């Protein structure tokens, strides 16, 4: 029996590709990329009767390799800091390494032309295919699926009797608001396996080459509490992280300025990342 490796996001399209290839007689395995900044399905690990392998890009050594792409993407970014084409190339090359190691006959994805404005166009797919130098099978595209409408996919899901989640929250890198923050953190090599959890929470400041994160709520305080260089939150005062012990005094100022009822925070607003 031939073996197929499906790049699995957990969404409707990749679930359909699994069914289509199984119907064609392939033994299918799913390969899921846990990316540092989203694009994931919270229920991706729940697959009945299907082997699922996870490549965790939030951990080393893959994290450093991925961050180097964010620092200098060959094919540019979208409206945020999202290097969609380079990201696809990264995943496809890692999938090829895995497929070669485990003797898979084909690698398939649920990509649909026209569904994503940056990475799922004809020109983008040509760039990707030229870079990876092997053939990616795109069953939905080959079957004539096109564009952002999901009606045909939903009809096919009924045929296969499969359940699927609604569209996910998307990729944090696509958002415009954190661009300055992420560029600053990347430039100063402040994003690591340990600090990754801080990048998508709180209010951020970069003062005297020290990174500060001020919690906005109890949940964010819980994340920051796991670090060593922090000011613990008190009643009405937020928890504050600082990347260098020399930042303690400034952290105290931030904590006071962003405490409940303070009107002093305006002096820090222009320094926010």
pLDDT by residue (tens digit) across 97-118?
999 999 999 999 998 876 666 6
Domain extents for the chain?
Answer: 3-172, 201-269
3-172 architecture in CATH? 3-Layer(aba) Sandwich (3.40)
Q: Is residue 8 within 8 Å of 52, Cβ to Cβ? A: yes
Residue 29 has a pLDDT of: 95
Q: Which residue has the higher pLDDT, 135 or 254?
A: 254
Give the pLDDT band of residue 133 (cuts 50, 70, 90).
Answer: confident
| pLDDT at position 263 | 82
Is the pTM value of this prediction over 0.85? yes
How far is 140 from 13, CA to CA, in rounded Å? 8
pLDDT band, residue 45 (cuts 50/70/90): low
């Amino acid at each position: 029996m031939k073996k197929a490796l499906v790049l699995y996001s957990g969404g409707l399209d990749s679930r359909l590709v699994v069914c289509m290839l199984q119907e064609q007689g392939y033994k299918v395995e799913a390969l899921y990329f846990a990316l540092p900044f989203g694009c994931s399905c919270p229920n991706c690990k729940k697959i009945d009767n299907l082997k699922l392998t996870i490549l965790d890009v939030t951990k080393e050594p893959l994290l450093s390799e991925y961050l180097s792409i964010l620092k200098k993407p060959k094919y540019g970014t979208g409206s945020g800091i999202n290097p969609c084409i380079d990201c696809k190339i990264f995943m496809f090359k890692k999938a090829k390494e895995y497929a070669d190691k485990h003797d898979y006959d084909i690698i398939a994805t649920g990509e649909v032309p026209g569904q994503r404005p940056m990475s799922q166009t004809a020109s983008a797919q040509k760039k990707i295919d030229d870079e990876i130098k092997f053939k990616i099978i795109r069953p939905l595209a080959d079957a004539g699926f096109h564009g952002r409408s999901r009606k045909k996919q939903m009809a096919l899901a009924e045929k296969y009797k499969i359940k699927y989640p609604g569209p996910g929250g998307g990729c944090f890198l696509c958002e415009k608001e954190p661009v300055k923050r992420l560029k600053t953190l990347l430039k100063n090599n402040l994003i690591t396996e340990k600090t990754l959890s801080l990048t998508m929470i709180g209010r951020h400041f970069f003062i005297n080459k020290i990174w500060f994160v001020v919690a906005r709520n109890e949940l964010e305080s819980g994340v920051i509490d796991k670090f060593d260089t922090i000011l613990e939150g008190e009643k009405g005062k937020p928890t504050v992280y600082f990347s260098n012990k020399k930042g303690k005094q400034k952290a105290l100022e931030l904590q006071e300025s962003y405490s409940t009822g303070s009107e002093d925070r305006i002096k820090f607003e222009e320094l926010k990342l």
